[in-house]
Structure 1
């Protein structure tokens, strides 16, 4: 890992650290509302049930959403770590801190849109969230971490968030199209459409692995969701074994590509070391 520059902190650095704390706090409060803990309606029941695990053929089984607990824990850990005096003047945190804060705000914004606005509003929010996370991971790929803890708390946090949101965007857009746009006749071709979309997801996951130089965190989160789409279609409603099998194959591809890239990179490093 290459070292990144650290300078003495300034007032603007303190503002950035505080902004990340405020954004993460907002996200967690919105999550509590979305989970029904603060009087809100659970996400699976909002929008006439169109975001539930059985709403479309591309909705993951309900157990898949436990990944949010992992993402939130990583976000909390990152928020605490980036607030330390040692990170105040980090050039890397100066570049990515506000972007991660924006991702937390958009994450909470999606939950509030699901509660109080329309299904299309949730699509707009999650697309903006996806773009923001893509910008964050690009910054982190270009400016590599200097320590293992930095990689774990910054890069893995963003990677898991990006991987899951990439798949959640597909599910969210599918829910909106199914509920508000597509004619009822499209339901007769749901297997074909679902297989086609999952094929595209596998391609996107592979491209993401290449773009992030073989990082595993995005692939793990995406494969997790794809696996649970397969479980949902194999054991729940709407049932579709063709989509279940395609989802599991897509999950395997999404996981395999970064592993192959990592192995190839390690071999390249060893070859250079021997010369």
Structure 2
């Protein structure tokens, strides 16, 4: 398959977007003098800001995601990948996700919580688009399974939890009172939705474990946060732990069923 101008433009765009994303992340942790995310916007996104805020250690997953995105950027430059139909479908969306990642950090730094919600929802939509594209085909090697599917799965899974925390923080900052309902009613309702989405993604993605693990990671750190830090909420902690178990369990069950269903086919081919 011949290399086109579009292939080269895509590869360069992905690389530039990674650089923008890394600079944005450094701003987000205060390397360049910016305010760390937990302290920006009046602490609206701190670990103790809302019932849906994960405990601080949860955010270490970004290091893994950024490492994966760097590996993906190198991977897509390999001669075997330059014209790969899978990369042609994914590259532009991955680049856009990294630009949105940086835009989210900058919007929070500026204190624009409403804007940050729009950006992170857009990021979630882009990553969902990536998921739908890479789920249509299997990776050609174990390395691709980790670098492409694994990285994007972690990215989508964590963002699925982060968007809930971001929206909750923005609503609280805007003075939303929950129509008089107890905060736990809202937090548990959101966690039920997250669990349902996790099950749907497990079915659609045939039990992709990286995606489920990232969702469960975020949910379990919500459990830790609501058990150990203010605002403490036992119902939210239990609901979050249950949601994590459901999402992981669904992914493992679906993956096992797919493996069992395809095993006879492999045996016949052998």
1:160 to 2:154 alignment = yes
The answer to whether the 8 A contact 2:11-2:91 is kept is yes
Gaps of 5+ in 1: 1-6
What are the equivalent positions in structure 2 for 1:1-275 lying under 5 Å apart?
Answer: 7-183=1-177, 186=180, 189-272=182-265
Whole-angstrom CA distance in 2 between matches of 1:200 and 1:95: 29
Q: Identify if the C-alpha distance between structure 1 residues 178 and 9 changes in structure 2 by more than 3 Å, giving closer, same or farther.
A: same
Q: How far apart are the structure 1 equivalents of 2:267 and 2:129?
A: 36
Provide closer, same or farther for how the CA distance between residues 102 and 189 of structure 1 changes in structure 2, counting only shifts above 3 A.
Answer: same
Deviations 1:94-152 (Å, cap 9, x if unpaired)? 11111111111111110011112510011000000000000011110113221121111
- The answer to whether the 8 Å contact 1:43/1:115 transfers is yes
Q: Following the alignment from structure 1 to structure 2, what is the Cα–Cα distance between the partners of residues 202 and 136? A: 20
Kept after mapping to 2: 8 A contact 1:82/1:88: yes
Taking a change above 3 Å as real, the CA distance of residues 133 and 264 of structure 1, as seen in their structure-2 partners, is same
Quick one: distance in 2 between partners of 1:238 and 1:185?
A: 19
1:51/1:271 Cα in 2 relative to 1: closer, same or farther (>3 Å)? same
Aligned structure 1 segments of 4 or more residues deviating by more than 3 angstroms: 271-275
CA contact 1:50–1:179 (8 Å) conserved in 2: yes
Aligned mates of 2:210, 2:72 — CA distance in 1: 15
Contact 2:178–2:186, Cα closer than 8 Å, also in 1: no
Cα distance in 1 for residues equivalent to 2:267 and 2:91: 39
Q: Distance in 2 between matches of 1:157 and 1:273?
A: 27
CA RMSD of aligned residues (A): 1.5
CA shift at 1:174, angstroms? 0.9
- In 2, Cα distance between equivalents of 1:94 and 1:244: 42
Partner in structure 2 of residue 4 of structure 1 = none
Structure 2: give runs of 5+ residues left out of the alignment: none
TM-score by length of 1: 0.94
2:35 and 2:254 map into 1 onto residues whose CA distance is 43
SS of corresponding position for 1:253:
helix
Q: Indicate if the aligned counterparts of 1:18 and 1:83 stay in contact, CA closer than 8 A.
A: no
> Any idea what SS the aligned residue of 1:88 has?
coil
